[in-house]
Copies of this chain bind each other. A is one copy, B any other.
């Protein structure tokens, strides 16, 4: 089983030759997960990062009222983890579930340590990931505070056009913070507007 995308991803983000780091990358473990199975469940301690080689993951929580909130969709070439749980060693509030049959790279603390020892600019890279994450969370807050359901939907399809085709709408709804019925109506509305023009 080859470490195709992950190797390329890491090498390019670290400005390193693939050859130079392939031995390090080779030492990390891969996992095949079937659609519907979990890489993390709420109340477990998250002690891995997950890089998606192929397939699609979804990270979500379930609130006290029993409602699902999708935190993020994680397609190929993306990375996901519960930073809060990993860093502070707290039980996670989130589920990470395979939305399609997927192949992922598991990245644990030892592995991170190894990386940061062997590769000087690894810390800088990780820092960049953290800052990206913050930007993205902040943007989502801005949208939740200031945009209507329709605006949030339009923003979503602009940012992640392919996701819509790969998951049930009800999950997109739970990402946007609206009900499935609500999303259905938003879409109907937009379809009508486009038709009229």
Q: With the chains together, A137 CA to B138 CA distance in Å?
A: 7
Question: A135 and B84 in contact (CB under 8 A), knowing A141-B140, A146-B63?
Answer: yes
Say which one of A102-110, A126-134, A186-194 lies at the interface with B: A126-134
- Which B residues touch A146, using CB under 8 A? 63-65, 67, 69
A87: CB under 8 A from chain B? yes
A84 to chain B, nearest CB (A): 5
- Which B residues touch A130, using CB under 8 A? 127, 130-131, 134
Dominant SS among interface residues on chain A: helix
Q: Encode contact with B along A100-123: 1 for CB under 8 Å, 0 otherwise.
A: 000000000000000000000001
Are A83 and B134 neighbours in the complex by a CB distance under 8 Å? yes
- Which B residues touch A195, using CB under 8 A? none
Are B134 and A134 neighbours in the complex by a CB distance under 8 Å? yes
Q: With the chains together, A127 CA to B67 CA distance in Å?
A: 32
Are A144 and B142 neighbours in the complex by a CB distance under 8 Å? no
Question: A61 and B137 in contact (CB under 8 A), knowing A123-B123, A131-B88?
Answer: no
Given contacts A134-B134, A144-B145, 11 further A-B contacts (CB under 8 A): A61-B142, A69-B146, A87-B128, A88-B131, A123-B123, A127-B130, A130-B130, A133-B134, A140-B141, A141-B141, A141-B144
